[in-house]
Structure 1
């Protein structure tokens, strides 16, 4: 038999493909093997939720698990965060994987044996505490990924950094927290991270599906405060006043024209919402001041600049037309950049997603006007953030309880796919960099 260069090349490709299949099959088997563990972890975290920057119990369980796997652990990162470092048996890139740990001030209504009964004080009032956004799921899945990859340490061509992040939903008033503080404290350095992957469970996407979007996938967010000041008077003599309530009503109506008349909606969506309006204490007193709180959502820096400029112009000029003044603060207390999936990275990792879930189960999704502080990591290194199905098969996405609600529910049968997806993204990316 004549051995040609082409024959050698084909044989080499076949061997490489067989090895890749073996690694993929290994991941699948190991992920299935720890499914019960992942579910048990998730149920424990669900029953014992903790608010942002208070995830002490959660962090302790994570750290103990990572240490048991021989992973180097750093605790107390950005208040309560945990970072694990797994150095593979071969040289290669550093891949970061992130899970958020915090719960929400929501009282659970779901009838589960592991439903949260936790109560705490929040903003001066007693509230229930619930994992109403699935962060308990994210933590359990990443703990499973750590166990799978630690068991393959000698084969891993690179380093994996496991980032368990506090306060994704926002830090308590007066505190820093979340991804922004982790970045400030150097979580993406020592060793320097080359790429970061993350996922989010979704209660309105069927189990078994993975959805993604290149570019802007979740909105950038700024909150705002608008204070309108007029002149107080008796409600029976409005001509003696400069009425900030009437001026505020005009401002609110005019703000809605920013999206309908200034934003090119054929390119990107956007949102301008006033969610809180306070002014006055009695029916017969026209107050001196009205305060509005709101949120703006955008998918590009250009749209963000447009929104801020138009909001300030509309608020101040409309108030002036009514004889009042308006002060605009944007952001008022928080700002998240756009969650931007690196376009080239997304394209490169699509085969990995399809290998994990099956090509027919990997779907392009529309942009989401919710926000995620994973975006702070993506500002520093290329990142990919995907969504994992958590709705029972056959469910109705319209009727399924949404995130941040007392009836939020996740089907646990989708956790194995989450473990497989993060493992495959990690090892496939490393294989590309050999």
Structure 2
């Protein structure tokens, strides 16, 4: 997910699978937020003005007092979850803690959604109002922790048949703890709460091994965004690329859609000394690789529709003097709108197939069905709620362009209007904080309070709670 790297663009949105080249096409649509690909946050204040803070009401002071009172408990939750991380679809311990907490607060709780997901619903007693959904992801990464903390993870498990360390290297432990605190404070203000709050604790945002399904897509398929259907959905992500106190957002396209494709090129085997005796799939593949870039450089208005086509794997042949029968290319596509996404996918297929045909071979393009659509923040919702974030964060920045990594919050935001924002958790004096997904990822826990206050104020303002 998202993280603006303050010193240089080096944060990766998705876990990097070093074994992908020797395995079948994986479920690599996932991408935790990755903000390092954005401009340095400090520069944004000079380019895009932020909204004036919304006026405060008495309920906001109550929420802030409650947030301060629960901070120590929130940090205890975060540290416990950090010390006991679980990979996607394995979050049984975390889900159990969440479910028991929600039940103790009077929420209507549904467990086992998309394998390990938990949903809690609380109806307010302050009068009629909208249904608001808030989402937190729960899963960790197959990363061995290298941070010296008393609650550092020592957990090991298996991922795609290999033993790996497990670490909350992307801050999902923070997200769960923040949302558990939201749950408790909202329950405590139930008599003032208008409408209904639906808390979604999601598994498997970081992707899954071969053969497994899950995450936001499956939660939506299993009815999480219905009965009751939210009027809006909110989510946040912590980022080590921004210091504590910085909160940022963007209306419209915010994170790219992520598609993975494989191109199988078929030629005809021959001896390397007599290439005219066969059809070289590697030459065909190389031509496809270079020509695919013209989709972006010559066919796309990149001012209005930025996109990325990257071939990350090119496999073909086993010996220097044998031209093989086939070659494989695996790549990723990043786009910011569904129409452009469909158009680029169409052109990738046309170019690959026609080049291969013109060189006496053939090519077949297969798209991984476990893709993430673009994450698009609803413009009207953002403009309405940005003053709320301005009230809780004096260091609020409106991002001037979207990030190319992906986040499966997009599945929720495709059902109802969504707002996804970002919270800095790097130490203010750390100019080279390790990026999210790094084994050295470290959270300055004071940042969690900014996420908690922001989400609490969003709930109160969107539902109209605490008004006459």
TM-score between the two structures when normalised by the length of structure 2: 0.84
Counterparts of 1:111 and 1:125 in 2: how far apart (Å)?
A: 25
Q: Quote the offset at 1:380 in angstroms.
A: 1.1
Residues 213-267 of structure 1: per-residue CA shift (max 9 Å, x gap): 1111111121101001111223333332311112111211221222222111111
**Partner of 1:249 in structure 2?**
286
Secondary structure, aligned partner of 2:428: coil
**Partner of 1:6 in structure 2?**
none
Q: How many residues of Structure 1 are paired with residues of Structure 2 in the alignment?
A: 413
Q: Quote the offset at 1:365 in angstroms.
A: 4.4
Counterparts of 1:69 and 1:105 in 2: how far apart (Å)?
A: 33
Please list every run of 5 or more consecutive structure 1 residues that lacks an aligned counterpart in the other structure: 1-16
Deviates more, 1:27-36 or 1:314-323: 314-323
**Partner of 1:341 in structure 2?**
377
Counterparts of 1:327 and 1:222 in 2: how far apart (Å)?
A: 16
Picking from 453, 457, 462, the partner of 1:420 is 453
Q: Quote the offset at 1:426 in angstroms.
A: 0.7
CA contact (8 A) 2:389 2:396 kept: no
Counterparts of 1:362 and 1:30 in 2: how far apart (Å)?
A: 26
CA contact (8 A) 1:315 1:328 kept: yes
**Partner of 1:328 in structure 2?**
365
**Partner of 1:3 in structure 2?**
none
Task: Report whether the alignment pairs 1:239 with 2:306.
Answer: no
Picking from 400, 405, 418, the partner of 1:383 is 418
Q: Quote the offset at 1:136 in angstroms.
A: 1.1
Residues 195-344 of structure 1 aligned to structure 2 (within 5 Å)? 195-329=232-366, 331-344=367-380
RCO comparison, higher one (Cα < 8 Å, 6+):
2
Residues 108-131 of structure 1: per-residue CA shift (max 9 Å, x gap): 222222222222221122222221
Deviates more, 1:210-219 or 1:276-285: 276-285
CA contact (8 A) 1:212 1:365 kept: no
Picking from 47, 51, 64, the partner of 2:100 is 64
Counterparts of 1:43 and 1:275 in 2: how far apart (Å)?
A: 36
**Partner of 2:50 in structure 1?**
none
Deviates more, 1:126-135 or 1:380-389: 126-135
Secondary structure, aligned partner of 2:264: strand
CA contact (8 A) 1:53 1:177 kept: yes
**Partner of 2:428 in structure 1?**
393
Residues 112-151 of structure 1 aligned to structure 2 (within 5 Å)? 112-151=149-188
Residues 53-81 of structure 1: per-residue CA shift (max 9 Å, x gap): 11111101111111222222111111100
Counterparts of 1:85 and 1:332 in 2: how far apart (Å)?
A: 34
**Partner of 2:204 in structure 1?**
167
Picking from 72, 87, 98, the partner of 2:123 is 87
Counterparts of 2:217 and 2:352 in 1: how far apart (Å)?
A: 30
Secondary structure, aligned partner of 2:226: coil
Q: Using a 3 Å threshold, how does the CA distance of structure 1 residues 30 and 362 change in structure 2: closer, same or farther?
A: farther
Deviates more, 1:417-426 or 1:44-53: 44-53
Cα RMSD (Å)? 1.8
Secondary structure, aligned partner of 1:411: coil
Counterparts of 2:318 and 2:444 in 1: how far apart (Å)?
A: 47
Deviates more, 1:273-282 or 1:189-198: 273-282
Secondary structure, aligned partner of 1:34: helix
TM-score between the two structures when normalised by the length of structure 1: 0.91
Counterparts of 1:241 and 1:400 in 2: how far apart (Å)?
A: 53
**Partner of 2:80 in structure 1?**
44
Q: Quote the offset at 1:405 in angstroms.
A: 2.5
Counterparts of 1:168 and 1:182 in 2: how far apart (Å)?
A: 11
CA contact (8 A) 1:353 1:362 kept: no
